[in-house]
Each structure stands twice: as C-alpha cells, then as structure tokens.
Structure 1
Amino acid sequence: MHPLEEEYLELQLSLFKETFIEIVLEHGINSEKAQRFSERLEQVIRKHEQAFGEEKAELFLNR
C-alpha cells in the first residue's frame, strides 16, 4: 500500500471516530443519527482492518 493511502485511511478513521463522539454527545447513543453514523464508522474500520490488519487497526482505534 502506498504511504499516502495509509495516511488517508488513518486520517479518515480518526475523523470518523471524532465525529461519532460529537454526534453521541449531542444526540445520544441511541439516536437514529448515531446509529446510522455507527454503521458508516464500522465500514471505515473494516477498510482499515483490511489494509493494515486487525491488530494495527485496534491499536489505532485505542489512541
């Protein structure tokens, strides 16, 4: 994988993680908006896992 692709995926995951936290704080964890965004976040996480492996993806998520 090209280094720029790796950086893009890491930035995308970080942005989605931060946005999800903001949505949950504003609308609540059980809100429809949070549920929809959670599904999208899961897709981004799966892309990250495919690109870097599950272990590295978990390390990045826990930052």
Structure 2
Amino acid sequence: MSAFWKAQLQEIIDISRDRIQRLEAAELIRAGNAAPVDETKRKIEAEMKVVARLQQTMDALP
C-alpha cells in the first residue's frame, strides 16, 4: 500500500516542480531576465516548501 502512496506523492511533487519551472520561465520572459517580482518569488518559494514537505513524507513511508 505504501508503494501506492509513494507514487501518488511523487506525482504531486512532479506537478509542483513543473509549476515552479513554469513560474520561473514566465517571470524570466516577462521581466527580460530581471529578478522575479515579489509575488512570483513568494509563489515559487511556497511551491518549493510543498515539494520539500511531500518529499519528507514520501521518504518516511516504509
């Protein structure tokens, strides 16, 4: 059963990482390679925290 949950968590992690990449790419295009605006930066940091928590949960599963 833990294999099922690990697969589900991995899918969510992959989706979150994809979202981070899209946010970064969109901001680079919009800002002409300038530093990300605060709101986008906060979104990216929040997604990264989600990925870290999900990864910890997945690692804790047997």
Structure 1 and Structure 2 fold alike (TM over 0.5): yes
Instruction: Specify the TM-score bucket, using the shorter chain as the normaliser.
Output: 0.5 to 0.7
The residue that corresponds to 1:37 in the other structure is 40
The two structures have a TM-score, normalised by structure 2, of 0.56
Matched residues in 2 for 1:31 and 1:19: separation? 9
Deviation of 1:21 (Å): 1.7
The correspondence of residues 44-55 of structure 1 with structure 2, limited to 5 A, is 44-53=47-56
Structure 1's consecutive aligned runs of 4 or more residues displaced over 4 angstroms after TM superposition are none
Residues 1:48 and 1:31: Cα distance change in structure 2 (over 3 Å):
closer
The residue that corresponds to 1:56 in the other structure is none
The two structures have a TM-score, normalised by structure 1, of 0.56
Q: Alignment RMSD, CA only?
A: 2.2
Deviation of 1:41 (Å): 0.9
Which structure's CA Rg is the greater one?
Answer: 2
Q: Which has the higher contact order (CA 8 A, sep 6+)?
A: 2
Residues 1:43 and 1:27: Cα distance change in structure 2 (over 3 Å):
same
Percent sequence identity over aligned pairs: 6
